[in-house]
């Protein structure tokens, strides 16, 4: 039963992003007006999250046509050398940046916790599958690399990666378009709020 729930959560996790995003778009409860803090901080965190995603994609080859080799070797380079789930970390950062851009600063901890728990349960399911697939090699990886909090001291700047930066950016175009759309929504929300 637990595995079934986690599998479904993993399959439909993209839909879990919609309700908090809609809430941030339409709510103005407790909204703060400190644009000189909100916009630079929110944009910086969104860009950090997007950068983590592109860097991760460079190594794992997500959505890259030539990535048919994906799954034939365990990726342990770049961000995967310092944390096991950098794509999810990037997503959490992007969502956190959006919550700041919405002006709902009080909502930031709730949103962060929501996405952290969502991704944590998905990761538990994925780790179980990867462990059954990779066995001892993956168990060693689990023991050496933390799940969430990056161990920067473990990264020695080795940037091999299976793909070029251009390929990684191209692979992340759908995500980057959604990010730009999200920023545009909050620019529009801020504009509407200011003309009232």
pLDDT in tens, the chain (196 residues): 566 665 666 666 778 888 898 898 888 887 887 878 889 999 999 999 999 999 998 888 765 444 444 446 788 888 998 999 999 999 999 999 999 999 989 999 999 999 998 888 889 888 988 888 888 888 999 999 999 988 877 666 556 666 788 888 888 888 888 898 888 988 888 787 767 6
Is 18 a domain residue? no
Is 14 a domain residue? no
Is 22 a domain residue? no
Is 57 a domain residue? yes
Is 122 a domain residue? yes
Is 74 a domain residue? yes
Q: Is the dihedral of CA 108, 45, 187, 178 positive or negative?
A: negative
Q: 196 Cβ partners below 8 Å, 6+ apart?
A: none
Report field, pTM of the whole predicted structure over 0.75 = yes
Measured distance CA(60)–CA(71) in Å, rounded = 9
Q: Which long-range contacts (CB under 8 A, 24 or more apart) does 136-143 make?
A: 137/74, 138/74, 141/74, 141/76, 141/84, 142/84
Provide φ and ψ at 63, rounded to 5°. 60, 15
Q: Could you tell me how many residues make up the chain?
A: 196
Is 12 a domain residue? no
Asked if residues 79 and 62 have their Cβ atoms less than 8 Å apart, the reply is no
Task: Report the number of distinct structural domains present in the chain.
Answer: 1
Is 17 a domain residue? no
Q: What is the CA radius of gyration of the chain?
A: 18
Measured distance CA(97)–CA(41) in Å, rounded = 7
For residue 74, give its domain range.
Answer: 2-6+32-195
């Amino acid at each position: 039963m637990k595995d079934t729930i986690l599998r479904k959560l993993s399959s439909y996790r993209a839909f879990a992003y919609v309700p908090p995003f809609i809430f941030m778009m339409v709510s103005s409860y407790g909204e703060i007006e400190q644009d000189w803090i909100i916009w630079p901080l929110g944009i910086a965190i969104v860009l950090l999250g997007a950068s983590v995603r592109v860097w991760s994609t460079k190594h794992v080859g997500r959505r890259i046509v030539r990535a048919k080799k994906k799954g034939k070797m365990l990726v342990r380079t770049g961000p995967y050398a310092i944390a096991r789930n950098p794509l999810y970390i990037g997503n959490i950062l992007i969502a956190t940046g959006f919550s700041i851009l919405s002006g709902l600063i009080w909502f930031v901890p709730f949103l962060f916790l929501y996405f952290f728990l969502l991704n944590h349960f998905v990761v538990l399911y994925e780790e179980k599958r990867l462990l059954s697939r990779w066995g001892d090699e993956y168990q060693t990886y689990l023991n050496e690399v933390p799940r969430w909090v990056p161990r920067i001291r473990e990264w020695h700047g080795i940037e091999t990666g299976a793909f070029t930066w251009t390929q990684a950016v191209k692979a992340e175009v759908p995500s980057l378009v959604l990010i730009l759309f999200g920023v545009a929504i909050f620019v529009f929300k801020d504009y509407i709020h200011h003309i009232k």
